[in-house]
Amino acid sequence: MKHTIFTGSAVALTTPFNLDGSVNFEGLGTNIDYQIDNGTDAIVVCGTTGESSTMSDEEHRACIEFAVKHTNHRVPVIAGTGSNDTRYAIELSVEAQKLGADGLLVVTPYYNKTTQAGLFDHFTIIANSVDIPMILYNIPGRTGLNISVETLEKLAHHKNIVAVKEASGNIAYTAQVAAACGDLIDIYSGNDDMIVPIMSLGGKGVISVLSNILPKETHEITQLCLDNDFRKAGEMQIKYLDLINSLFCEVNPIPVKEAMNQLGMAAGACRMPLTKMSADNLARLLSSMQKLGMPVSVVD
């Protein structure tokens, strides 16, 4: 059995920006502390929720370095280093290891995509370039590319490929992966609305957007699953389902950053081409938060 990077809840951390569009490192540190203080088991920095696709090389490296130093071994730090350019993904992955990241999160190539043979080669070459564990990120709704069960099973034999963040939304696919790969690979839910179903199939936890605003509760859902109390975990999953759905009523991370701003947390605006929420969707988000007793602006 391979090394497990974490069990429980990891936060897919947003990247807070100042009014001038620069990275708000003070806010990033505050948000990391908030997560750790409330039970989050790992920090994911510069993932897609962190708007890595609009970050410069310098910003990407600076955020990874800051997160590693600020976290200071309290929990693992996982760096998003995926790209649709294999060479660039290798460069980022090697740099993340040098900066002290405990693991990597590598998304499937987007837009140019590839064949399953190309996907196998892409991930294998990246994994060969480092000596730290790597989590594959399967999110076909955003990349247009799904890792087949057969490809994932082959990749699972690589010593550095230890887990998959599964966000296809297809629970049957997840069951097939669990059956095919067994202990060769850990499975993390990539969807907050599927934490309990995926963990009931043996998943080790979640890489969560919800955790940005409710870290304690997200951790508790995963801990209940790890304790085999799936009934209570399911009740919590359902309790927060309306909020989870509202957090994805527009392109992530637009809603979660708005929720963080409402709560007085460091978030700021998203970078273009992501923009402000529509009035209707903002009202929906605020209503979901208000129903849970979260302090927000008055909903008309």
Kindly write down the DSSP assignment for every residue of 176-221, as one continuous string. Answer: HHHHHHGGGSEEEESSGGGHHHHHHTT--EEEESGGGT-HHHHHHH
Contacts of 146 (CB under 8 A, 6+ apart): 108, 138, 140, 168, 173
Report the first-to-last Cα separation within the chain, whole angstroms. 54
Neighbouring C-beta atoms of residue 114, cutoff 10 Å: 15
Query: Is residue 23 helix, strand or coil?
Result: strand
Q: Which residues pair with 164 in a beta bridge?
A: 136, 187
User: Any catalytic annotation for residue 188?
Assistant: no
Query: Measured between alpha carbons, how far is residue 82 from residues 50, 72, 97, 154, 181 in Å?
Result: 12, 24, 14, 19, 22
Catalytic status, residue 232: no
Burial class of residue 300, CB neighbours in 10 A (0-12, 13-18, 19+): exposed
**Catalytic-labelled residue, pool 137, 173, 188, 240:** 137
- Point out the catalytic residue in the list 165, 173, 188, 240: 165
272-279 contacts: CB < 8 A, separation 24 or more?
Answer: 272/54, 274/51, 277/250, 278/250
Torsion of CA 128, 131, 135, 136, to 10 degrees: -10
Per DSSP, helices labelled H in the chain are: 25-37, 57-71, 86-98, 116-128, 140-143, 149-155, 171-181, 195-200, 215-226, 230-239, 241-246, 254-262, 279-291
Residues known to be catalytic: 137, 165
